[in-house]
Amino acid sequence: MTSSSDKKPPRTHAPATKVVHSGRAPHDNYGFVNPPVYRGSTVLFPTVEKLWKRDQEFTYGRSSTPTVKALEEAIAEIEGGVATALTASGYQAVSTAILAFVKSGDHILMVDSVYQPTRKFCDYMLAKLGVETTYYDPLIGGGIADLVRPNTRLIFTESPGSQTFEVQDIPAIARVAAERELWLLMDNTWASPLYFKPFDHGVDVSIQAATKYIVGHADAMLGAITSNARAAKQIALAKEQLGVCPGSEETYLGMRGLRTLATRLAQHQRSGLEIARWLEGRPEVARVLHPGLPSHPQHAIWKRDFLGASGLFSVILKPAGPKAVAAMLDGLKLFGMGFSWGGYESLVIPFDAKPYRTATKWEPEGPALRLHIGLEDVDDLRADLEAGFQRLTAAK
């Protein structure tokens, strides 16, 4: 006879299984595999009493629909949070999440390597509302305690850093946030819900530009704010009061993209690392900024905390003039030049982080390029870059 103490705990599904099955209830939708797209604003109530009490699950299209609810539940489960709130873009997810916790007179700590629009939101909108921002070194770790003031309300992290790919010591920062009773927010877009588990490392709110890897096809704008139990009410209130809501079609495209996230991200990781290793050996390249490479200064932190890498990283070229860089990039056949990333297509942009770093200095050896490695054949991508390097060298 087997005692209750001998029973094994129920099996938890693997992430790849969760992305396929979370947020789906086919038999509630006549057996159709995918949930339907609910388009609408008005939701009818059967009685006056129910209308006055708002006594039903859906009350108005802006607040939620069955389509929105399905994707929110799926992302929350995959990321390990209590609740997810969808937004119309990743930038809106950032601004909504910050506004959920601050008021006039507050102070926030913002990582210096953050996504540029987030910096602009702090420097303009938050300043206009009377909220002060201090930018901090992404490598500060537990030393961030020295920057906390009596009116500090939250710490915002983004790891790896946008464009320059510094990996933050999130657990060390989380310990300071917990000790000082601060909110800890993280832009987790690079790793997606699969390759970094923010709530296991002390984060209160995880932000996704779902436009990127969740949608995955460069055809919709979408954001997601996932929170723990401590932060869920504040996020829900901010979403409602700010009138934040995603589009119906965009939500459906996010759900569609989510189903293949594990498969796509694994390929982005494989191809990205292969190209990154190849670039390390190129004579035109000074450095490759990829956290998954042993040469990366914070590789040990990445290896400790992350479960994988995406297809986005940067390279620093050896000194070359603007005309040579333009010759390299203008002739690329497979790498498109455009903002965003996370889709099936490979992308490249030149960048210079000097103008938007204030707490740290950005001093590269030469021009900087950010690459997103898509789902194309790696040999074809390598050949495209090699031809670009030949143009770069010829134009010097």
Question: Active-site residues: which are they?
Answer: 62, 115, 187, 212
Specify whether the CB–CB gap between 246 and 87 falls below 8 A.
yes
**Helix, strand and coil percent figures for the chain, each rounded to 5:** 40, 15, 45
Pair of tokens at residue 169: 């010591």
Helix (H) / strand (E) containing 139: none
Closest listed residue to residue 310, CA positions, set 251, 380, 372, 355: 372
Count CA atoms closer than 13 A to 48's CA, side-chain side.
0
Q: Is 80 left (phi over 0), alpha (psi -120 to 50) or beta?
A: left
What is the C-alpha to C-alpha distance for residues 117 and 130, in angstroms, rounded to an integer? 19
Distance CA 214, CA 226 (A): 14
3-state secondary structure of 208: strand
The CA angle 340-343-344, to the nearest 5 degrees, is: 145
How many other β-carbons are positioned within 10 Å of the β-carbon of residue 290? 26
How remote is the C-alpha of 139 from its chain's centroid?
19
